[in-house]
Amino acid sequence: MEQHELISAEFTRRRFIKGAGAAAVAVGVMGTSTGIASAAKVAAPKKGGTLKLGVVGGANDIFDAQYIVAKADQARTLSTFESLMTFDAKFAPQTKYGLAESAKAVNPSKYVVKIRKGVKFHDGTPLTSADVVASFQRLLDPAQKTTGKPLRTFLNNASVVATDATTVEFNLLIPNVDFIAVLAGYTYTIAKKGYDGKTQIGTSAYKLDSYTPGRESTHSRFDGYWNKTEQYLDKVQIIDFADKTALVNALVAKQIDAAVDIPFEQWQTIKSKKYLTAVENSAGAWLAMCMRIDIKPFDDNNVRQAMRLIVNRKQMVKQVLNGHGKIANDLYGYIDEFYNANNFPQREQDIAGAVALLKKSGYSKANPLKVELTAPDDTGGLVLMIQAFAEMAKKTDGVCIVDAKVIDGGTYWSAKGQYMNTGFYTTYWSPRAYLAQVAASMDVYPELKWPPAGSTFRADYEKAVGINNKEKRKVVVAKMQKEEFEKGGYIIPFFNNFADAFSNKLQGVDTSPSQLNMGYYGHGFQGWNLA
């Protein structure tokens, strides 16, 4: 995730992430949460206890304040580090739970942030503007493996300046009227000056005690935390499981208190247990099949559009999500007021049309298009999606042959794995505004190698983020979406709901649309307590 995350609004993605950042923030949100037990809201918060949170993870998980790849990475990072801002339930940036006391625009190219007073790192060192500047300079450094690439459109090292011990000034290279939302990106966390990605000393409510990659991490209450009013737990234990089945089994067996991102095929099993609460969040996450436009055969737009026509989207929602989602039209960002997919004809399965496009590119039963489509085994829905797509491709009567291959998650998401390194593979993202997703997909995770040569897409993006007038911005965004609809490399069959589950003894979980996956996105474990 995730995701991911404005130039931001980074909610995330990948293995989960589910799941990085960049541009406009949605004014309206279509997400809702259901299935929340009312009893969880009744009892007064109780202090003490150890929370056991289950995630799917492995030896390739990453623990870096500014580089989040998988769900396990996300959980650990956001229980240790904090961003300047967070998001409210409607994805608007706010200072609550953030390290900024205030963030103001002097003009669309200049923003001033005042740091919250009394914030300390886990080693007792006070947070200063120098730490904020150093964190952003690390994000901006191309030599560092972080999710900061979208920031480089707007900032360089000279752009981020400490004017005094508690004030940071951001002088943007080009205007961005939504830059305050950028500061809420969850991968834009703040670490100590000199942070090398190895010593995990943050400012959060819980400090890291120990970490064994692929197994677990333990975190204990930080007594010097600035917001003690919602700091209830004594300890947090984040436990890795090899796959979703093992994760759900552990929850059902009461070995853990909460499970992140349960598969919908297990929804009824969870719902049948009176001691568990199942939460469904329909904020607009999406799964996708990615066609890299720089790798044959997907450098041919006829092929890309043919693959989109093979999909039966209604069947996908039923078969992959068990009905827990809605059909999509190969465009992301439906939480955004600028979402324009409804102005394009809804793609329906059109096998004849797909075959005709493939024949234009020289494919036939005698010379079929043979492609391998991969998915990791650790992300709910992706395996079922590729299997369903492979079956749908059989309707082309041998013109298109899809080999659906399931890959170990740790291998798939690794630097040399299938993700972003092959021509046809899968991904998933948390909801974000359209322009935020554009930046994430172009720069942080360039899944398609989009935009194509000769396109004005990037220039249009840079223009759009600087337009404050909604009607004028909408015109530019519509142009961008039209190009993606007609030439893009994402196959987005649906928007999927999120499903999480936890013990009824766990209270204080924020399940608003912006606090995806049980609330740790915006403010790791604050308010959580064990009754």
Q: With respect to residue 205, please indicate whether it lies within any of the assigned structural domains.
A: no
Six-digit token string for 395: 């309707």
Distance CA 456, CA 482 (A): 12
Q: With respect to residue 464, please indicate whether it lies within any of the assigned structural domains.
A: yes
What pLDDT score was predicted for residue 15?
31
Q: With respect to residue 356, please indicate whether it lies within any of the assigned structural domains.
A: yes
Query: Residue 387: helix, strand or coil by DSSP?
Result: helix
CATH number at residue 398: 3.10.105.10
Q: With respect to residue 461, please indicate whether it lies within any of the assigned structural domains.
A: yes
What pLDDT score was predicted for residue 337?
82
User: Scanning the structure block, which residue is given the tokens 């069959």?
Assistant: 493
What pLDDT score was predicted for residue 3?
34
* Full residue range of the structural domain in which residue 368 is found: 286-432+448-496
Residues 6+ apart with CB under 8 A from 326: 317, 494, 495
Tens of pLDDT, residue by residue over 216-248, are 999 999 999 999 888 999 999 999 998 888 999
Q: With respect to residue 115, please indicate whether it lies within any of the assigned structural domains.
A: no
CB 151 within 8 A of CB 182: yes
Provide the domain count of the chain.
1
Residues 6+ apart with CB under 8 A from 263: 244, 248, 380, 381, 499
Within 160-243, residue ranges assigned H as helices are 179-182
Q: With respect to residue 374, please indicate whether it lies within any of the assigned structural domains.
A: yes
DSSP string, 130-151: HHHHHHHHHHH-TTS-SS-GGG
Q: With respect to residue 520, please indicate whether it lies within any of the assigned structural domains.
A: no
Distance CA 510, CA 513 (A): 9
What pLDDT score was predicted for residue 116?
96
Segments of the chain with pLDDT less than 70 = 1-42, 283, 341, 511-523
- φ, ψ of residue 52 in degrees (nearest 5): -110, 110
Distance CA 420, CA 291 (A): 10
The CA–CA distances, whole Å, from 272 to 244, 278, 475, 501 equal: 18, 10, 48, 12
Q: With respect to residue 300, please indicate whether it lies within any of the assigned structural domains.
A: yes
What pLDDT score was predicted for residue 522?
41
In the chain, count of helices (H) and strands (E)?
A: 13, 23
What pLDDT score was predicted for residue 430?
79
